[in-house]
Structure 1
């Protein structure tokens, strides 16, 4: 079997979590990687650990001008770009009524408008070169609303809709589109949710590691999968339940109790002296 030649990847949110794990995996496979994050020092430290075939750029994904500069740097450094991985996201926890509107807006700006801006900026170059691959790291909450992270879920539902609409529009251009939906993942974001009582739903299922998600993302890219769900054995149930609001309301109390119990156990394991 002929080995696929190395490609050039651009990954956002690469200073930690899923983005950093994906960059490490791709670099270990011989690919070139441009790591991007608003955390300039963090992303440069990760890139420095990956060797000469990795580089880093500080990037505010909500800025069109910053995207153009980052893409210019990528093409200057590596000569081309094959795959964009839109991964960066934030979460603001708490009941929606307790979260300032400005924080809801920031979540939408980063989680939805950021990938939208990056996809369109990169798409222009992919169309010009006749090939490319837009990869969106979304979330299973794009199918199921989660209390405690209402605007996060809204941003991910919007992101899924945009990704597929864009893919339909560009279906004859030679550009591929893949979207991946991780379940709860052991990242700083999940640690933030652990501390907030409003986020019990986030712990209904056992979280997976960033490395597990990275392997799933890279496999999906290689296969040019259209849409991938995690974990696959639970995805059908989650998607069905998430679109059945009456059923969700009937099960809410039970689901919340299960999630909060798991959340409490995590807190105890991380801080045995907590109450």
Structure 2
């Protein structure tokens, strides 16, 4: 029996790259997105073992419907990837408060909704894993990306808490922490960090890391957090050993606008 993967925000970018890779590896793939037409185009391109559907991750009832129809089609839910997310950049006070609230609603509540609605199905599966999309922005709070960075800190906390709590069910909850990725999300982004650090990662880089986590044995030796890319790995390691004032100083340098 083919294992299955359900991906939120899967119509484009990182989500679409995940869908393509897992389909190529023999999985049944759920491509769910608020843009259902684009999701359906991708599913049609992939073939009969791909299913598209509509999902606004901020709406819990839509999660219930989407997961129910997916499991009925796939047989069981093995891997949930909470990928859907948005980003607003620029000066905190110049960003409309509704945009800050929308960031939290999608990036944080979307993950809470997904994990909560998926658990009954994950508990029934022979193998089950959750992989969340966190970010290098969850290493240290980022200027010009305050609500986005805060949302990814929340994802990091959700991941850590559930990875511990759901041990009783044999379910690992992991995340990946990429730096900036070549997607439409970072196009025209107004933040000093992207200008100073650059955009080196591709959606395929992130997808391959997620596939590695999906295949890894679920022992305690599998790290809860996985930085993606050399720059992120260096930042992640340094943040754990550097004094707080040095972490702040390095972020001031990296996020300074010219």
Q: How high is the TM-score relative to the length of structure 1?
A: 0.84
Which has the higher mean CA deviation after the structures are superposed, 174-183 or 248-257?
Answer: 248-257
Q: May I ask how many residue pairs the two structures share in their alignment?
A: 251
CA gap of 1:211–1:89, structure 2 versus 1, over 3 A, is same
Q: Distance in 1 between matches of 2:119 and 2:188?
A: 33
| Comparing 130-139 and 152-161, the one that deviates more | 130-139
Match 2:147 to one of 137, 143, 151: 151
Partner deviation per Cα, 1:73-107 (whole Å, 9 max, x = no partner): 10121111111011010001111111122111110
> Would you say 1:219 and 2:215 are equivalent positions?
no
Change in CA separation of 1:241 and 1:70 when aligned onto 2, cut-off 3 Å: same
For residue 39 of structure 1, the aligned residue among 22, 28, 35 is: 35
Match status 1:82 vs 2:78: yes
Where does structure 1 differ by over 6 angstroms across 4 or more consecutive aligned residues? none
Which residue number in structure 2 is paired with residue 105 of structure 1?
101
The structural deviation recorded for 1:130 is 6.0
Q: Give 1 or 2 for the bigger CA radius of gyration.
A: 1
Structure 2 CA distance for aligned equivalents of residues 244 and 96 of structure 1: 26
1:127 aligns with 2:123: yes
- Given candidates 226, 229, 239, the residue that maps to 2:227 is 229
Q: Work out whether residues 91 and 152 of structure 1, in 8 Å CA contact, stay in contact via their aligned partners in 2.
A: yes
Match of 2:59 in 1: 63
The offset of 1:144, in angstroms, is 2.1
Unaligned runs of 5+ residues in structure 2 are none
Partner of 1:163: 159
Asked if 1:250 is matched to 2:236, the reply is no
Which residue matches 1:114?
110
Distance (whole Å) between structure 1 residues aligned to residue 57 and residue 194 of structure 2: 26
Residue aligned with 2:30, SS: strand
The aligned residue for residue 185 of structure 1 is 181
Deviates more, 1:124-133 or 1:16-25: 124-133
SS at match of 1:170: helix
Unmatched tracts of structure 1, length 5 or more: 262-275
SS at match of 1:228: strand
- Give RMSD over aligned pairs: 2.0
